[in-house]
A = this chain, B = another copy of it.
Amino acid sequence: MACHPLQSRARGDAVRARIEDVAAAAGVSMKTVSRVFNREPNVREETRLRVEEAARQLKYRPNTSARSLAGRRSYLVSLLYDNPSPSYIMEVIEGVLTACEQSHYGLTLRPVDFGQRGHVESVETLVAQYRPDGLILTPPLSDDAALVKRLRELNVRYATISAKRDNGGIGTILDERAAAADMMAHVIALGHRRIGHITGHRSHGGRAWRLAGYLDGLRQAGIEPDPDLVVEGEFSFESGIAGARQLLDMDDPPTAIFAANDDTACGVLYEAAARGLAVPAQLSVFGFDDTPISRQVWPSLTTVRQPSREMGRIAAQQLITAIDGHGPAHMVRVPYQLQLRHSTGPAPAR
C-alpha cells in the first residue's frame, strides 16, 4: 500500500520506483524483492522471474543510500594508489569498476602519498568517513607494512594487487621473478652477454623480484653477474636517462639494458637516441608492464605484459566475495606474457 502516491515524489524529473512499488506490482512482499536483488537464497524461481519483470517494467534501481543505512554497510570499495603510472592505474580502475558494477558496489579513489608522514592517517580518515566495506591496495601500497598493520588493527578488509609475497591474503599476484628471468633468457638467446639492469624504487615490491629474475636469468645461462651492471633507478623516465648514461659511459658498456619498467625503458631509449645509438642494432632495451607507451615509442618496446585490468577485476572480485561471504576468497595468481617488439634484437658483433 503506497501511502505516498508516486506523483508526490515527482519533481519535474522522472518518478522513481521504490522497492515497495515493485513488491506491489509483483504481488509479493518487499522482503522478497530484496531477496531477489541481493541474490539471497529462498526464492522460488517463478517468483524471482515475476519480481525481475516487475522491476524492469518500473525501471527500479535500488537506492544506494537506503541500502547502506539499513544494511550497515556502504557497498563501497576504495582503491588506494600512489600513482606509479597513470595508465597503469587507469587500467586497474577499469577492471575494478567492472567487478564493482557486477556486484552493485561503488568505487571511491584515494591517492596516497606513500612517502609522506601522515599517509596511514589519511587512510584512516577515509575509512572513518566513507566506511568502505573493503580496500584495494596497488603497488607500492600493497607492501606498505605500516599501512597493512593498521588495517589489520582496524579490522578493515583489503585485497592487494602485486604484493611482494603471497601472505595468505586475498587479491592478485604475478610471478614477476619468473617473468624477468624468462625475458632475460630471450635476450641471452639473441646473443647478449653483458646485460645491464636499471632497478625499480626501493620501496616498491616489484624491484626485488625483477632484480632477482635478472640475476636468475644470468645464472641460468652460466653468466656471472657483474655488480657494475646494476644501477639504481626508481621506475621513472628520468631515472632511465640517468641509468642509461651511467651504463653507456662504462668502458665496457652493456649491449642490452633491462629497465625495471616501461617508463624507465623509455628514458633509456631517449638517451640512446640522444647519443645516436641505434636501437636495437647497437643496443637492445626492454622494460616491464606493457603500458600503452610501450607501443607508442619508436622502436616499440619489448616488455612483459601484466594483465592489469584483469588483476584489478579479480582483486575486486575476491574482495567482494570476502565481504559478501559468498564462498572463500583467495590470492589469485595471474599469468604474464612476453611482448616481443622492436627494441630488442641480436647482439652486435664485437
Q: Could you list which residues of chain A lie within 8 angstroms of chain B, going by C-beta atoms?
A: 11-14, 16, 59, 61-66, 68-69, 74, 83, 86-87, 89-91, 93-94, 97, 104, 106-109, 111, 125, 128-131, 153-156, 237, 263, 266-267, 269-270, 273-274, 292-293, 295-300
Contacts and interface: CB of A to CB of B under 8 A. Distances in A.
Q: How many copies does the complex hold?
A: 2
B128 A61 contact: yes
A63 B130 CA distance: 7
A292 B86 contact: yes
A130 B296 contact: no
A241 to B, nearest CB: 10
19 contacts: A13-B154, A13-B156, A63-B69, A63-B129, A69-B69, A86-B90, A89-B90, A90-B90, A97-B111, A107-B109, A108-B108, A266-B296, A267-B296, A270-B297, A270-B298, A270-B300, A274-B298, A293-B293, A296-B297
Nearest to A71: B65
B130 A106 contact: yes
Nearest to A96: B109
Nearest to A126: B61
Contacts of A109: 93, 97, 107, 109
A63 B131 contact: yes
A297 B301 CA distance: 12
A23 B19 CA distance: 33
Nearest to A68: B65
A62 B130 CA distance: 9
Nearest to A270: B298
Given A12-B155, A86-B87, A155-B12, A237 B93 contact: no
Nearest to A291: B86
A273 B296 contact: no
A346 to B, nearest CB: 19
Contacts of A12: 155
Nearest to A342: B274
A185 B58 CA distance: 58
A65 B62 contact: no
Interface centre among A104, A109, A300 (most CB of B within 10 A): A109
Contacts of A129: 61-64, 104
A270 B296 contact: yes
A64 to B, nearest CB: 6
